[in-house]
């Protein structure tokens, strides 16, 4: 009780002495600090595990430990999640989108540390995924729980979730602008200037602290670039189209492989299959081990021959075609390695795989063009490929542009990055309207989008609009009984329900029987089953609100009945009630 009294007194003191908008800025600063610390712990943990396991590996010989370590990492991660966490911590960004879409913006307290542990083990042992999605989930959980501790409202919680994501990206990549843009493009609904300031504070704070922890070096050291040239634009457009198509392959391939694993009901079957696939692929293609950032650095700095180290391809020589074929195969099989890692029980995200495949795609395209006599700066194209894949897979062209520029210090390549990112994004949206992150929620109608009308409809839930105070009629009632019911009711609409099965069989509108309801001589002649009409459409409780409004629009109705899967009557939904709630939510989220 003493603690509770202190806690309540602290909340009262805060409300009296610190204005809400000022306190949000303080919280965003704290979120940035905690996100940077979490990012540093995660990166350090991954590198420590990897160095312990692989420091004795020979660079020039095949290492059979690659057949063991990745599977062990998945097994340990699975046991950790199943028996200690006892909650799903995979697909971190998708879970954040879900939290925002449900208008709760509440993430569980364990998310501030469990993703760090799970992904450190998974990636440290060789899981072919990235640490960025787990750290974004961690940062967002920090923001959500800090806001919840101080009893912030739902809109502020949503903002603090964004601050956590922004700080996490800024902290792990040393990329403050990318952290801000990622949050705006991928996570958030509508951000005004007053909301952008806290995001920026979190991102800059986390980035500054990250510089303090690990120095000022760029994540990917890059010095070999050529200035932008107009005559290279057609090749950049070609690269953008290819990146868009590879993004499509990545998106659909990941979904397809994860779908195959979902069909395996036994979790240990998933572990065995996923571990075998991952370990075998890493054994054949060592660059698939972990995040793959060593390979990215090698390609960006002209050391492409080193990617063949530890592989069977090393004995075939260093000819350009060997490298092209080798990297092309890695592009194809990377999604199998990444999907097997997460679907089998590992913890990680698609951020790093996207950057990895993008770099290889840009490199291979440039290498091929050069083999056919064109003069293409290979390292520039590798960099642009990273931006293009990120734009395509995440449907976030601005994030792709700014992140790659900040990761490498390649600010002189903005035009190159902009062309490739834009073309890649335009290419994939012809085939996929949603990013890989958002696709699962979009299929369920639970996705919060930047389209304000759709976003607000997503926040409204069907169960809150079902009205049950309609008088049910029996099909065998006569007109006289119906008139008595109408005289006592405030409604002009009545559901007709089978007495035994409770199945909706029709509806009676007062306007449809008004011409005979005042003729007593007809009361015994007409039955309700003769007077009822079929409803223009049926709704279900699980139907997304956007679809509900489409049905109202198509039928021109103001009331529609709701039934379950067996057509059992549940109630009616009013179009005007939805409109009223829509206006209230719109005012709430537009008010700054």
* pTM across the whole model: 0.76
pLDDT of residue 86: 85
Q: Which CATH code of 1.10.3080.10, 3.40.50.720, 3.40.630.10, 1.10.10.10 fits the domain covering 2-214?
A: 1.10.3080.10
pLDDT of residue 590: 47
Q: Which two tokens stand for residue 361?
A: 């795609």
Q: Quick check: 534 and 477 in contact, CB under 8 A?
A: no
Secondary element (H or E) of residue 478: none
- pLDDT per position as a tens digit, 367-420: 999 998 888 889 899 999 999 999 999 988 999 999 998 888 777 888 999 999
Domain boundaries, the chain: 2-214, 230-455, 461-590
- pLDDT per position as a tens digit, 310-359: 777 776 767 888 999 999 999 999 999 999 999 998 999 888 999 999 99
pLDDT of residue 8: 81
DSSP-assigned letters across all residues of 479-526: HHHHHHHHHH-S-SEEEEE-TTT-BEEEEEEHHHHTTTTT-GGGTTT-
What SS3 state is found at 285?
coil
Q: Quick check: 159 and 202 in contact, CB under 8 A?
A: no
Phi (first) and psi of residue 58, to 5 degrees: -80, 140
Confidence of residue 145 (pLDDT cuts 50, 70, 90): very high
Between CA 327 and CA 308 the distance in angstroms is 9
Phi (first) and psi of residue 531, to 5 degrees: -95, -20
Between CA 369 and CA 367 the distance in angstroms is 6
Using alpha carbons, select from 206, 130, 106, 104 the residue that is nearest to residue 163.
206
Examine domains 230-455 and 461-590 and report if their fold is the same: no
What SS3 state is found at 155?
helix
> How many CB atoms neighbour CB 454 within 10 A?
16
pLDDT of residue 555: 85
> How many CB atoms neighbour CB 305 within 10 A?
14
pLDDT of residue 458: 59
Vertex 424: Cα angle to 420 and 427 (nearest 5): 140
> How many CB atoms neighbour CB 214 within 10 A?
15
Q: Quick one: 461 exposed, middle or buried, by C-beta within 10 A (0-12, 13-18, 19+)?
A: middle
- pLDDT per position as a tens digit, 488-505: 888 888 999 988 888 999
Q: Which two tokens stand for residue 503?
A: 């199945």
pLDDT of residue 341: 93
pLDDT of residue 191: 58
Between CA 388 and CA 536 the distance in angstroms is 47
- pLDDT per position as a tens digit, 5-31: 787 888 888 888 888 888 999 999 999
Residues 206-228 have a mean pLDDT of 82
Using alpha carbons, select from 402, 390, 380, 307 the residue that is nearest to residue 352.
390
In whole numbers, what is the pLDDT of the chain averaged over residues?
85
Between CA 196 and CA 426 the distance in angstroms is 26
Look at 221-235, 321-335, 355-369, 454-468 and tell me which has the smallest mean pLDDT.
454-468
Domain 461-590, CATH:
3.10.580.10
Instruction: Check residue 569 and report its DSSP letter.
Output: E
Between CA 64 and CA 317 the distance in angstroms is 21
Does domain 230-455 fall into CATH 1.10.3080.10? yes
pLDDT of residue 527: 87
Q: Quick check: 304 and 382 in contact, CB under 8 A?
A: no
Between CA 31 and CA 120 the distance in angstroms is 21
pLDDT of residue 592: 43
């Amino acid at each position: 009780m003493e603690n509770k009294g202190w806690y309540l007194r602290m909340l009262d003191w805060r409300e009296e002495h610190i204005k809400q908008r000022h306190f949000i800025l303080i919280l965003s600063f704290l979120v940035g600090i905690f996100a940077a610390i979490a990012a540093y712990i995660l990166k350090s943990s991954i590198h420590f595990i990897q160095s312990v396991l692989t420091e004795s590996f020979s660079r020039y010989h095949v290492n059979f430990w690659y057949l063991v370590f990745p599977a062990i990492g998945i097994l340990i991660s699975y046991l950790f999640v199943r028996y200690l966490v006892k909650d799903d911590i995979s697909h971190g960004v998708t879970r954040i989108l879900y939290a925002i879409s449900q208008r709760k913006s509440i993430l569980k307290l364990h998310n501030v540390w469990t993703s760090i542990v799970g992904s450190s083990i998974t990636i440290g042992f060789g899981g072919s995924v990235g640490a960025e999605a787990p750290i974004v989930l961690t940062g967002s959980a920090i923001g959500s729980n800090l806001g919840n501790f101080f009893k912030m409202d739902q809109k502020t919680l949503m903002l603090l979730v964004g601050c956590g994501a922004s700080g996490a990206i800024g902290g792990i990549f040393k990329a403050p602008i990318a952290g801000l843009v990622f949050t705006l493009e991928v996570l958030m609904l509508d951000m005004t200037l007053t909301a952008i300031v806290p995001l920026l504070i979190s991102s800059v704070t986390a980035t500054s602290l990250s510089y303090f922890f690990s120095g000022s070096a760029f994540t990917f050291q890059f010095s070999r670039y050529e200035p932008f040239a107009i005559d290279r634009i057609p090749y950049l457009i070609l690269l953008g189209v290819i990146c868009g198509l590879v993004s499509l392959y990545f998106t659909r391939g990941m979904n397809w492989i994860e779908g195959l694993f979902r069909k395996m009901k036994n979790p240990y079957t998933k572990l065995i299959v996923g571990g075998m696939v991952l370990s075998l692929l890493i054994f054949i293609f060592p660059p698939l081990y972990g995040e793959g950032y060593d390979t990215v650095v090698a390609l960006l700095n002209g050391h492409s021959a080193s990617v063949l180290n530890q592989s069977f391809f090393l004995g075939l020589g260093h000819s350009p075609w060997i490298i092209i074929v080798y990297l092309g195969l890695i592009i194809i099989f990377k999604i199998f390695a990444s999907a097997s890692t997460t679907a089998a029980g590992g913890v990680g995200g698609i951020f790093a795989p996207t950057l990895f495949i993008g770099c290889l795609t840009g490199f291979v395209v440039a290498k091929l063009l050069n083999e056919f006599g064109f003069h293409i700066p290979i390292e520039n194209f590798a960099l642009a490929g990273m931006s293009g894949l990120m734009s395509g897979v995440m449907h976030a062209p601005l994030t792709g542009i700014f992140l790659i520029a900040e990761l490498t210090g390649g600010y002189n390549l903005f035009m190159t990055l902009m062309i490739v990112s834009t073309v890649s994004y335009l290419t994939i949206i012809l085939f996929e309207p949603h990013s890989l992150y958002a696709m699962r929620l979009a299929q369920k109608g639970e996705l919060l989008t930047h389209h304000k009308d759709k976003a607000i409809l997503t926040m409204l839930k069907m169960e809150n609009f079902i009205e049950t105070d309609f008088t049910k009629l029996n099909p065998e009632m006569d007109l006289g009984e119906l008139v008595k019911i109408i005289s006592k009711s405030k409604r002009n609409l009545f559901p007709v329900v089978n007495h035994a099965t409770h199945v909706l069989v029709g509806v009676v509108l007062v306007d449809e029987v008004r011409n005979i309801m005042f003729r007593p001589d007809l009361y015994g002649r007409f039955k309700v089953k003769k007077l009822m009409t079929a409803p223009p459409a049926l709704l279900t409780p699980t139907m997304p609100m956007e679809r509900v409004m489409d049905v109202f629009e198509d039928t021109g109705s103001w009331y529609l009945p709701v039934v379950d899967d067996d057509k059992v009557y549940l109630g009616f939904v009013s179009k005007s009630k939805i409109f009223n709630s829509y206006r209230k939510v719109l005012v709430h989220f537009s008010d700054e």
